[in-house]
Structures are given as C-alpha cells and as structure tokens.
Amino acid sequence: MSFYGWLWRILPGPTPAKVIGALILLVAVIAALFTWVFPAIAPLMPFNETTVE
Amino acid sequence: MRVLRQLLGLLGELLITAGAFLLLFVGWQLWWTDVVADADAGAVVTQLQTDPNAWVQPDQVKLGDAFAIVRIPRFGADFARPLYEGTTREVLQRGIGHYSGTQLPGEVGNFAMAGHRTTYGKAFNLIATLQPGDVVLVETKDTYFVYRVTGHEIVAPTHTSVLLPVPDQPEARATEARLTMTSCHPEFSARERYVAFATLDARYPRSQGVPASVLEVER
C-alpha cells in the first residue's frame, strides 16, 4: 500500500517512459499549485495581513 | 504487523508530500510572487513610457488603474514602479497603491501610498534606507512632482492617523503638500508599519522633464 508505488505501476511504458511521465505529472502539479492553490491560500497567512479596516 | 508497517509507509509518504508542499509554498511566496510582479510592473511602466494614450489624469483614475510612475533614486537608478489607485490586496500584489481618499500628487494635504516590504515585487523593500532629503519622484500625465524625505516612524498597523492631511494631527489644517509612504515592518512580518514622510519640493511640466541633479543620490 503506497501511493507513489501505485503511481509508478500505472505509469505506462518501460522505465524511461515512466520517468518522463512522472516528470510531466510533477510539473503539472507544481504549475497548478503556483497558479491556483498558493494564490488562494496566501491571503490566509498571518504575514500577508496587509490591510487595516 | 504487516498492516501497521503498510500504514506507517503511507503516513511517511503523506508527510514527505506535506513537506514538499510547504517548501514549494515558501518558494512561491518568496520568489515567484516577485518574478510575476516585477514582470507585470515592468510591462506597465514600459507601456506608460511609450504610449501617451495609456495615461489617465490622477483625478479621473479608477480603482486598480495605474496613473503615475514612482522613481526613488535611493532604491536604485532604474527603480521605476507604477502607482495604482487603491490599496486592496489585489492592487498591492501588483505594486504601489495610492490610498483612496487621500490627496493626489502635488495637492496640499497628504498624498499617501502603500507598497510591499517583501514579496509581490517588494516595491518598498528598501524603505528603511531612505534618508532625509532623498527624492521621491512622481510622474503623472502632465507633471513631475519632486518630493523630499523628511523623516520616518514605526507604528502599529492600526495607527492610520499617519494618513491624515497633516499626519498624526487630526485637528490641524494642511498648508503643505506631503507624501506618506507605508510598508510592513519588520521585513517578512506584518506586525508593524514603517512610515516614511516627505514634502513637495518642486514640480516640473512632464514635457520639460526633471533636472538630472534630482535623480542623483548622496552616498
């Protein structure tokens, strides 16, 4: 029972293809984090409390 | 035992993933927000410098629109940032914001602006290096306004009276054209505000430009 082990098994092709597939997935995840997830959670951080009402 | 070992393995994966997530967030916050904001600010300044139609009069600007270029020679010879109307989170993530309701550049009273000390392009990162006499040059559609720094103070975020027409004096009637700049303090914290004050020293028609001496910095 291992998420990354399971991911490695379902990636298609021989080992070099699996490595490329894993890298593509990694880049896609980081891009999604940078584009949507981090901008959404940043305002919740105490050090980003810029405004005073 | 086997089940326990498998569960521990899964927990380990989860913790490693969480660690990578946090490291990525730190990298995004400290590095990527600067990359994005710097590129955006550079593009806006370039557009203002090359396209006469990109300028709006300061008294007609709408929230979120750029209406001036701010240059502070102490921050670097090539330091030029757009000034946007408003100080919402979205505006400040793009650069320097003008506190809506405070005076406009050159007006008698207090022309106040805010900028990030760190992250999101950190326009006011070097605010604590400002010294009395340093120039803050504000370029608008028709006019260059030359402000000179007079001093600073460090206050609590709730201390909004620095934005009054005469800072910290609610009863006083303004007779001078002032500039107030606010940023977070200390760096990487929002606990206090670093506030720098300046007064208007000179103004020049934009068509005429400013004397080169204005942009020199005393080291």
The span from the CA of B166 to the CA of B173, in Å, is 7
Buried b (16+ CB within 10 A) or exposed e, B82-104: bbbbbbeeebbbbbbbbbeebbb
In a domain, A10, yes or no: yes
For residue B47, give the 3-state DSSP assignment: helix
For residue B21, list chain A residues with Cβ-Cβ distance below 8 A. 33
- Tokens 């054209």 -> residue: B177
Q: For residue B32, give Cα distances in angstroms to A30, B23, B108.
A: 12, 13, 39
In a domain, A50, yes or no: no
The span from the CA of B97 to the CA of B74, in Å, is 19
**Lookup: tokens for A3:** 């998420």
**Lookup: tokens for B78:** 């090539």
Helix residue spans in chain B (DSSP H): 2-27, 33-50, 89-92
Give A9 to chain B, closest Cα distance, Å.
16
Give B213 to chain A, closest Cα distance, Å.
35
In a domain, A7, yes or no: yes
Pair type for strands B80-85 and B96-98: parallel
Give B186 to chain A, closest Cα distance, Å.
11
In a domain, A29, yes or no: yes
Domain span at residue A10 reads: 3-39
Closest Cβ opposite residue A34 in set B28, B92, B184: B28
Number of domains in chain A: 1
Tell me the residues of A at the B interface, defined by beta carbons under 8 Å apart: 1-4, 30, 33-34, 38, 41-43, 45-52
The span from the CA of B36 to the CA of B121, in Å, is 8
Interchain CB distance below 8 Å, A38 and B190? no
Give B40 to chain A, closest Cα distance, Å.
15
**Which of B94, B98, B117, B184 is flagged as catalytic?**
B184
In a domain, A21, yes or no: yes
Helix residue spans in chain A (DSSP H): 3-10, 15-32, 38-41
Closest Cβ opposite residue B190 in set A4, A33, A46: A46
Give B56: exposed, middle or buried? Use CB within 10 Å, 0-12, 13-18, 19+. middle
Task: List, for residues B22-32, the tens digit of each pLDDT value.
Answer: 999 999 999 99
In a domain, A16, yes or no: yes
In a domain, A17, yes or no: yes
Interchain CB distance below 8 Å, A1 and B10? yes
Pair type for strands B177-185 and B109-114: parallel
Task: List, for residues B114-149, the tens digit of each pLDDT value.
Answer: 999 999 999 999 999 999 999 999 999 999 999 999
- The interface predicted TM-score of the complex, written ipTM, equals 0.90
H or E, element range at B195: strand B192-205
pLDDT value for A51: 57
pLDDT value for A53: 39
pLDDT values of chain B reduced to their tens digit, one per residue, 219 residues: 888 998 999 999 999 999 999 999 999 999 999 999 999 999 999 999 999 999 999 999 999 999 999 999 999 999 999 999 999 999 999 999 999 999 999 999 999 999 999 999 999 999 999 999 999 999 999 999 999 999 999 999 999 999 999 999 999 999 999 999 999 999 998 899 999 999 999 999 999 999 999 998 877
Interchain CB distance below 8 Å, A38 and B10? no
In a domain, A14, yes or no: yes
Please choose, from the candidates B219, B160, B146, the residue with its C-alpha nearest in 3D space to the C-alpha of residue B195. B160
Q: Chain A within 8 Å of B160 (Cβ-Cβ)?
A: yes
**Mutant choice from A36, A38, A50 vs B, greatest count of B C-beta within 10 A:** A50
Task: List, for residues A1-53, the tens digit of each pLDDT value.
Answer: 789 999 999 999 999 999 999 999 999 999 999 999 999 999 998 888 765 53
Give B166: exposed, middle or buried? Use CB within 10 Å, 0-12, 13-18, 19+. middle
**Distance, CA of B124 to chain centre:** 5
